[in-house]
Amino acid sequence: MGLEINTLAIIPIMAQQHHPRAIEATTKYFLTQATAAAMILFASTTNAWLMGEWEIHQLSHPLATTTVMLALALKLGLAPVHFWLPEVLQGLELTTGLILSTWQKLAPFALMIQTAPTINSSLLVAIGLLSTLVGGWGGLNQTQLRKILAYSSIAHLGWMVLILQFAPSLTLLSLSLYIIMTSSAFLTLKTNNALTINTLATSWTKSPTLAALAALVLLSLGGLPPLSGFMPKWLILQELTKQGLPLSATLAAMTALLSLYFYLRLCYALTLTIYPNTLTATAPWRLNFTMVTLPL
């Protein structure tokens, strides 16, 4: 019921632009969230019917636990049920996209943390690895910043799900840092009024300080070592190795390189390219001209 109230509350915010693209995104979001809620209801009634338990902590039947996990994955936008997230985020303005990427993840994630002990660990690790792979791979060929941030969200949530059953405290640390970094990324892009990679190139001429801040935020999201985004990934890899999953840790580290590549591409566009503009302020040589009169 709380999940449904949460969904219905954000729908007017998403559709406030009255633009066909926004309406389309809102409809897609509503349908996916309603489907996930129906799956959760089905899983709980199935568990009650087969095992006689209504509590979320007591999900013991494999059908119920798997269905709940897939329903929450659909709500969060985890692979392999991630297809709605980039499309929905692309149709929203940046402020609404910020709410969708951060606040809307909290309720399903709280449920996932509560149900994690009863879920098959192989399923969680598989969903986590697939999400990091899809999040890295999907963002490579994008030019729209909102879609890139959507794939970034899929990859980060994959890291959190990967470690969820082994160290929930690391999951909460990753979620906290992800919310801070994603909020910073959306707000700096909104201040720069940038929606595509091409418009990032004009940011340096508008405000060098803001452009440098945006570059640092993007590199932190990518997980570059000196920055804070590296810390949760490092701790997660360490914990996976301790749990006897070196292959999963290696695959997760390799998929992180895919994400880092497109973040570096954004930073390159942001800081190392100068847009070919014709502003008089940045081209003083255009002002030093003299009128030449030609004889008739």
Tell me the pLDDT tens digit for each residue of 217-233. Answer: 999 999 888 889 999 99
Lowest mean pLDDT among 35-49, 94-108, 188-202: 188-202
Structural domain tally of the chain? 1
Closest among 194, 90, 202 to 149, alpha carbons compared: 90
Query: Which residue range(s) make up the domain with 277?
Result: 1-282
**Phi, psi of 156, deg, nearest 5:** -65, -40
Report yes or no on 295 lying in a domain: no
Which amino acid, 85? L
Q: For residue 279, what pLDDT is reported? A: 52
Pair 118, 59: CB distance under 8 Å: yes
Q: For residue 285, what pLDDT is reported? A: 45
Report yes or no on 123 lying in a domain: yes
Q: For residue 208, what pLDDT is reported? A: 81
The structure tokens listed for 34 are 């309603």
What lies within 8 Å, CB to CB, of 221 at 6+ separation is 152, 156, 181, 182, 185, 229, 259, 263
Task: Report how far residue 90's alpha carbon sits from residue 265's, in angstroms, rounded to the nearest whole number.
Answer: 19
The model's pLDDT over 129-156, given as tens digits with 9 standing for 90+, comes to 999 999 999 989 888 999 999 999 999 9
| Location of structure tokens 């890899």 | 237
Q: For residue 77, what pLDDT is reported? A: 93
The CA–CA distances, whole Å, from 22 to 19, 79, 96, 108, 149 equal 5, 23, 11, 23, 17
Q: Is the pLDDT of residue 83 over 90?
A: yes
Q: For residue 272, what pLDDT is reported? A: 78
Torsion of CA 152, 154, 158, 159, to 10 degrees: 20
Report yes or no on 287 lying in a domain: no
Q: For residue 205, what pLDDT is reported? A: 77
The structure tokens listed for 148 are 């890139």
Task: Report how far residue 160's alpha carbon sits from residue 280's, in angstroms, rounded to the nearest whole number.
Answer: 49
Report yes or no on 101 lying in a domain: yes
Report yes or no on 290 lying in a domain: no
